[in-house]
Chains A and B, each alone.
Chain A
Amino acid sequence: MSAKVPPTVTLAERRVPSLGGFNLTFLSIEVRRLMRNRRTVLVTLVMPVVLFLLFRANRRSGALAGIGFTAAATMIGIAVYGAMLAATSGGAMVSIERAQGWSRQLRLTPLRPAAYIAIKILVAMLLGLTSVAVVYVVGAIDGVQMAPATWLLSGVLAWAASFVFASFGLFMGFLLPSENVMQVIGPVLAVFSLFGGLFVPLTLLPSVMQDIAPYMPTYGVASIARFPLVGGAFDPIWLVSVVLWTAAFGAAATILFRRDTRRA
């Protein structure tokens, strides 16, 4: 049996996409998709503000200010929480994509896993940036006072925290089925927040928790984000914590993505 027609395509001339398929059209459509998901956007932007206002009584009494936990320190902690919540939810959206078979469909395109993950992290971090901005605006209205440079620097560092948690969200999104993902992530983030000293100073926690705290993924990022405010010595272990957790979550997410041949 011979071919009825000559090949219509010159096979060797076909190119693979540059940057593994990463491009701005993809990114902009993903952002638009995220905006359409009003519930996620609302929850991730409103939750930190609610928490911030809940801790208001503490701040006003000045009880914690004596041990260096001022309104500004609380606000930065909450901003880190907001960035974390937003980025994790953004990353965890991959569980929906898996459930709908989209990840599998993407495997039939030239898109490289690294480019896909880069897009997902960027979108998650964009949501994280919005969350930090909202918390800071509410904080400023509520009378939090910091030097302009401290506002900016601590904001950027709190936002940078979202990188770690975008990776964490992706990891969870690839690990869990979509109907469970937020139920699991919510409590996990609460534990991270408490142990990492986002809401209350670590010195008020039982000593066992204080011992565990440095191993939490929130510990490094919260300490770094508060550094411009608190000052003092910069502990390199914070940076090590951020790098190691990001690497661990990122590697786990990549491995699960590659293994994700599941049929939808």
Chain B
Amino acid sequence: MAREHGFVAAIELHDVHRAFGPVRAVDGIDLHLELGEIAALLGPNGAGKTTTIDMILGLGQPDQGTVSVLGMSPAAAISRGLVAAVMQTGGLLKDLTVRETLRLTASLYPEPRPVDEVLERAGIAHLAERLVGKCSGGEQQRLRFALALLPDPALMALDEPTAGMDVEGRREFWSAIRRDAERGRTVLFATHYLEEADAYADRIILLRQGRIVADGTAAEVRNLSTGRSVRANLAEADRAALDGLPGVRSVEIRGGRVLIQTMDSDAVARYLLTATAAHDVEIVAHNLEDAFLALTSDEQVPAVEGRTADVSAA
């Protein structure tokens, strides 16, 4: 067991499947998350993000496979306050005040953080006496975050936590999460906002139709889909030589210009600059959105399926 080394995985999913009738919401997921990681589960609606988070929280059971959280079952981790979650909507009583909601929840843990402290850290100290029903969506979300802080959990799971928030609310929410994560808390959040995954996660796990199609840093995921484009002015280009370079996926030659799509832009650039007379070499990184679309759209499936390896291990 990992525990013998003093470290235990924050999350360990092994061959997890879950179906709702004929819909295979999660269709064979293996995931290993270390303590201290901040990871995003990114994917379009219906990709299986919420189902995955629900199983990590013990709200749903896998039909097949195993789920382990901090070396124990989700239920055991929840009962010790080691895991907390911020859900997308609901989960609050409108006829309680913010402070009452926190006091009530705190009373369920043997050693909760003080209510005033979590109010402060979630940035809602000024709302303490307000009825929850009178709080805005963003304020309610920060209350959910405050609730999740009460047990001082080792792992915090957030399911589309900023859905429906305005830009400013989203920024404030994430800066609170980020501040908190700097203390070493493990964070797993589901989102369909690319920029959120890019800006706040160290690691992006891209889901499509219940499977992980990419897993790595934002930069690695970008490369995984379409790599980069290299453009240069080059007369009399040697198509065969360009095609033969490692990682090259396509070569276009138009007049005196070449356009190369490649997984390894360094190799192409090195070749162009050292072995040819190419000039005005440009390397354009595809943005995460290109990667997202390429990896999650149906047409691209065959092209993508072969490259679903865990690049973070590389």
Contacts and interface: CB of A to CB of B under 8 A. Distances in A.
Interface of A: 1-9, 11, 14-18, 21, 23, 25-26, 29-30, 32-33, 36-37, 97, 100-102, 104-105, 107-111, 261, 263-264
Contacts of A15: 80, 110-111
Given A4-B37, A23-B108, A29-B96, 4 more contacts: A4-B34, A101-B89, A102-B92, A110-B79
Interface stretch (B97-105, B193-201, B266-274): B97-105
A105 B90 contact: yes
B95 interface: yes
A21 B7 CA distance: 29
Contacts of A9: 82, 152, 154
A100 B95 CA distance: 11
Contacts of A37: 95
B126 interface: no
B313 interface: yes
A264 B185 CA distance: 27
B114 interface: no
Contact of B34 (A3, A16, A23): A3
B156 to A, nearest CB: 11
Contact of A109 (B36, B108, B183): B108
Nearest to B54: A261
B87 interface: yes
A12 to B, nearest CB: 9
Contact of A8 (B80, B107, B151, B183): B183
B245 interface: no
A32 to B, nearest CB: 7
B306 interface: no
Interface string B59-83: 1100000000011100000111111
Given A1-B312, A11-B71, A15-B80, A101 B109 contact: no
B171 interface: no
Interface string B220-243: 000000000000000000000000
Contacts of A21: 107-108
Nearest to A29: B104
A42 to B, nearest CB: 16
17 contacts: A1-B313, A3-B34, A5-B184, A7-B6, A9-B154, A11-B82, A17-B108, A18-B110, A21-B108, A25-B104, A25-B106, A26-B108, A37-B95, A100-B93, A104-B90, A261-B59, A263-B90
Interface residues of B, number: 50
B281 interface: no
B307 interface: no
A110 B109 CA distance: 7
Contacts of B135: none
B205 to A, nearest CB: 13
Contacts of A1: 34, 37, 312-313
Q: Among B58, B71, B108, B312, which residue has the most Cβ atoms of chain A within 10 A?
A: B108
A201 B155 CA distance: 62
A90 to B, nearest CB: 14
A95 B18 CA distance: 28
A253 to B, nearest CB: 19
A6 B6 contact: yes
B260 interface: no
B93 A97 contact: yes
Contacts of A110: 78-81, 108-109
B59 A8 contact: no
A260 B285 CA distance: 47
Q: Among A3, A33, A97, which residue has the most Cβ atoms of chain B within 10 A?
A: A3
Contacts of A261: 59-60
A23 B79 CA distance: 16
Interface string B163-174: 000000000000
A110 B83 CA distance: 10
Contact of B93 (A3, A14, A33, A104): A33
A5 B36 CA distance: 6
Contacts of A101: 87, 89-92
Contacts of A17: 108-110
Contacts of B110: 15-18
Contacts of A29: 96, 100, 103-104
Contact of A264 (B35, B72, B91): B91
Contacts of A263: 90
B170 to A, nearest CB: 21
